[in-house]
Copies of this chain bind each other. A is one copy, B any other.
Amino acid sequence: MDAAVAYARENAPRFLEDLKALLRIPSVSTLPEHQGDVEAAAEWIAENLRHIGMEHVEVIRGEGHPLVYADWLHAAGQPTCLCYAHYDVQPPDPLDEWITPPFEPTRRGDNLYARGAVDDKGQLVTQLKALESLLQSGDRKLPVNIRVLYEGEEEVGGEHIAAFVSQHPDRLQADFALISDTEMFAPELPTLCVGLRGMIYTELEVRGAKTDLHSGMFGGTAPNPFVALAQIVCGLKDRDGKILIPGFCDDVQKPSAEELKAWHSLPFDEEKYRRDEMGAPALVGEKGYSVIERLWARPTLDVHGVMGGFTGAGAKTVIPAKATAKISMRLVPDMHPEKAFRQYSDYVQAICPAGVTVSTRLIHSGEPSVLSTDNPWIRAATRAMKKVWNKDTVFIRSGGSIPVVGDFARHLKIPSVMMGFGLPDDGIHAPNEKFHIPNFHRGIESVVRLFEESARQG
């Protein structure tokens, strides 16, 4: 047996204890009172990297929460892998729904429960333990060159890492990235994510009268910004889920027949998805496309919140001067955020109802991305997972966005292998988040194997 894999299996109980230690640090990036905990988590990781033999370990401070960098660059002639994960976590609310406290990691059955168990500390630690297993066994060398870059503000927008990647491409030179922050399509199904949706996240403001008005004195003559907003939203997307912005879908790349065939052979139970994952009376969305196509290969438009007017208890008869909505659109290859925002903004002006004015503002955006499964690093990851799971890898996309993938592509010109070991029912961002413990250990082995298989590509 491979020395590193043997080491990982011998040390499995300790590896789990080390993960628990990191999970006990409540590194909630969005809450100022946890600033010290976020720092402590960064220091814990840096210390671990030093301990296992990584070099140039540095906690990089700047605005926002720190990055942790390390490297090991002695595999002459071999490719370089840039390893990414994040050590910050979502707030644990609502606290009273946790069976055991969010920052007291607890094993129940085959699962480890804690905030961050799978998103993303557990997955970050699969990388740490894979590196340790290779550096502390056999000839104590890594088969490829490695850089690690961990961030502490993924849950709050990741501005620091985006700036760092754009400013220091030289310090991050690599052939490909390993992103450990995704999930498997189903239990026991080794999965690589090869496509992400992009997005534009906007704020749309509708203004009517110069000041708030009394709905008795003015109702029937004064424009109501909420009603106008409703009219605009209904103008943007029809009741069948079709986005009505002219030209918006022109650049949408249709998945190949082969991709569609593979997607539709995945084990997916639409009724179970509706009932257990969503709990809504019915699925909605664009007619003529399957659920998986709608999630992975079609743009969407959602409203996230509406501000303005009276929102207290009881009744206040105000016609507010303005209403503001948070509206985002997910984009798919080959759509472009700037073009999409322009089309959206122009159309909103065109359909603006009488009596109000409307303005749009782009809050942030990200490019959609898709990776060919013919990519050598994807092929290496496929071979690696076959060794661990003894099954062929399925290729999926994600309906979400991982902005760092776009940053790596744009500034480092490298593809990202998104190999993750979460399960659909892990409950990320929710109470009782968990990590399936066998996936933690097989994840470590998968990362070991990925590094070994990548070496042969060099």
Contacts and interface: CB of A to CB of B under 8 A. Distances in A.
A279 B357 CA distance: 12
Interface centre among A157, A221, A317, A399, by most chain B C-beta atoms within 10 angstroms, is A221
A109 interface: no
B219 A302 contact: yes
B231 A239 contact: yes
Interface in A267-299: 273, 277-286, 291, 294-295, 298
Contacts of A357: 281
B282 A355 contact: yes
Nearest to A401: B216
A220 B304 contact: no
Contacts of A48: none
A99 interface: no
A201 B328 CA distance: 31
A56 B450 CA distance: 93
Contact of A224 (B302, B311, B316): B302
A312 to B, nearest CB: 8
Contacts of A229: 230
B320 A305 contact: yes
A266 to B, nearest CB: 15
B279 A210 contact: yes
B215 A355 contact: no
A241 interface: yes
Contact of A356 (B215, B230, B280, B302): B280
B429 A214 contact: yes
A40 interface: no
Contacts of A230: 229-231, 233-234, 303
Given A215-B328, A219-B330, A233-B230, A157 B315 contact: yes
Contacts of A353: 239, 284
Copies per complex of this chain: 2
A341 B199 CA distance: 41
Nearest to A228: B284
A291 to B, nearest CB: 5
Interface in A208-229: 208-211, 213-224, 226-227, 229
B314 A218 contact: no
Interface string A311-340: 100111111100101101010000000000
Contacts of A308: 305-306
B221 A294 contact: yes
Contacts of A216: 197, 199, 330, 398-401
19 contacts: A201-B315, A214-B400, A215-B300, A220-B399, A221-B273, A221-B278, A221-B285, A222-B283, A222-B284, A223-B281, A224-B302, A226-B325, A229-B230, A282-B355, A283-B355, A284-B354, A304-B319, A305-B318, A315-B363
